[in-house]
Amino acid sequence: MTVLIVTHSQDNDAVDRVAAAVEARGVRARRFDTDRFPTETTISILDEPGVGDSRPRGWIVGPQGELALEEISAVYYRRSQVGGRIPADLDPQLRAPSIEESRRVVHGLMAMLQAGGVFVLDRLEVVRRAQLKSLQLALARRVGLEVPRTLVSNDPTAVRAFAARNPEGIITKMMASFAVLDEGGREQVVFTNPVSEEDLEDLEGLSLCPMTFQERLTKAVELRVTVVGDQVMAASIDSQSLPRAQEDWRREGAAFAQAWQRYELPPAVHAGTLALMDALGLNYGAFDFVVTPQGRHVFLEVNPAGEYMWLLETPGLPIDEALADLLCGRGKRRSAVVDPH
């Protein structure tokens, strides 16, 4: 039995923590750095009649040696940078299809393993569906979680009307996390930002890119709720303690690294997170909530591949152990999307 951990060579220590926890359970852990494929790692998938049974056979050969595909008992799909080491100066007409062909091999490998009964955390088609933020909000409401008033639009008139209906103000954010490079080549992450009156007067940029707008919530604390199978692990941060973090705590992520505290969710919110995981068919999810001064727990989003490394130092949040249990068949696994109604 071998757990294949799909990631890239620059990933953080969370990979090693999970691998160690898997090995402690008597199961082999094997790391597959996707940025090393196809330049430094080889994949061979053999599907031909007369070799014994109907299952495709093959192997992965990389820095850790050779792994027969038949040995893989579970896959942890954490990160991907397929083709990351294909030379950047290769003709773009050749580099783009090289990366795409390599990506299809990796995705095909995981789909083939899953079709053969191998547990994949989480399946690509499930992750892609779960990443749709409008779907998340609709399903969260249906399972009983409170969600903020939200508008997704590229229509300036609709945005101004939405702002007028929210006298406490609105914020704007993107559905996908990304960064842009400034003139010095430094990454500038696009965070959640408040929308000012001046912003409302100049919304022409929406004709090039739609955005998400939500009511501006007063915050007591913010929560990161990590769900692995049926284990729910919540932590809180006082994001209002630092001015730059009041709209988006990630602006002060490093400063807050040691400040997260274990948090006990109300029973209804605890049940709601599990119900949303069921509705999305996810085995892993990183939830973001705002807790208002009145005690309302407002769901913002769930990231099906959200980071958790900084939370491993928070007492009572053994996320790596929970992942190892699930990968080794010791925890509840969700195998299909279940509609809540």
Q: How many distinct helices (H) and strands (E) make up the chain?
A: 8, 18
Q: Per-residue pLDDT averaged across 273-287, rounded?
A: 97
Q: Per-residue pLDDT averaged across 1-15, rounded?
A: 95
pLDDT per residue as tens digits for the range 209-224? 999 999 999 999 999 9
**Model pLDDT, residue 341:** 47
Per-domain residue ranges for the chain? Answer: 2-121, 149-215, 218-327
Q: Which CATH number fits domain 149-215: 3.30.1490, 3.30.1660, 2.60.40, 3.30.70?
A: 3.30.1490
More confident position, 73 or 53: 73
Percent of the chain with pLDDT over 70: 91
- Say yes or no to pLDDT of 338 above 60: no
3-state SS assignment for residue 163: helix
3-state SS assignment for residue 338: coil
The pTM (predicted TM-score) of the whole model is 0.90
**Model pLDDT, residue 45:** 93
**Model pLDDT, residue 96:** 95
**Model pLDDT, residue 25:** 97
**71-80, 116-125, 248-257: least confidently modelled range:** 248-257
Using alpha carbons only, how large is the chain's radius of gyration in Å? 22
> Has domain 218-327 been given CATH number 3.30.470.20?
yes
Cα dihedral across residues 168, 197, 195, 255: positive or negative: negative
**72-86, 87-101, 150-164, 250-264: least confidently modelled range:** 250-264
More confident position, 119 or 239: 119
Q: Per-residue pLDDT averaged across 101-120, rounded?
A: 94
How many Cβ atoms sit within 10 Å of the Cβ of residue 254? 9
The structure tokens listed for 146 are 């409170």
Percent of the chain with pLDDT over 90: 75
pLDDT per residue as tens digits for the range 58-86? 999 998 899 999 999 999 999 999 999 99
Classify domain 2-121 at the CATH class level.
alpha beta
Q: What does each C-alpha distance from 9 to 27, 80, 90, 121, 302 come to in angstroms? A: 22, 10, 21, 19, 25
| Beta bridge partners of residue 286, listed in sequence order | 226, 303
**229 in the Ramachandran plot: left (φ > 0), alpha (ψ -120 to 50) or beta?**
left
3-state SS assignment for residue 248: coil
